[in-house]
Amino acid sequence: MEDTLKRLLIVETEAEELVTNSKAEKEQIIQQALTETHQAEQQFKTKIPDIYAEFKQKAEERAIQSIAELNKRYEERKTNLRELAIDNQQKALEAAVQIITQVKSNG
């Protein structure tokens, strides 16, 4: 009986050691995870200016492209309106000449 009690005490002591070691290992894993998370957060924070600069550059490039497209459309529209004005000017002159000739022939 004494041997059984001694073995039970030894097993209980070993179990307590396992629990203590497991708790310590758990705490170490938690601390390691916190450290890695903090490092990842710091790395991200250091990359923020680069991310912002890249985003700003792309936005500026898109803005420049949009402005160029708008200028192209503006120039095309201006050319079309100029051609239309020239065409209408000729028609207006012809109509004016016709009205003047009708007035002279009637009057």
- Residues 90-107: tens digit of each pLDDT: 888 888 889 888 887 876
CA 88 to CA 90: how far, in whole Å?
A: 5
- HSE value, Cβ hemisphere, 13 Å, CA-based, for 46: 6
For residue 41, what pLDDT is reported?
96
Across the chain, mean pLDDT equals 93
pLDDT > 70: percent of the chain: 99
Alpha carbon dihedral 67, 72, 77, 82, in 10-degree steps, equals 120
For residue 107, what pLDDT is reported?
60
Question: Is residue 26 predicted with pLDDT exceeding 90?
Answer: yes
pLDDT > 90: percent of the chain: 73
Question: Is residue 46 predicted with pLDDT exceeding 90?
Answer: yes
Find the DSSP H helices in the chain: 2-106
What is the token pair recorded at 105? 């022939």
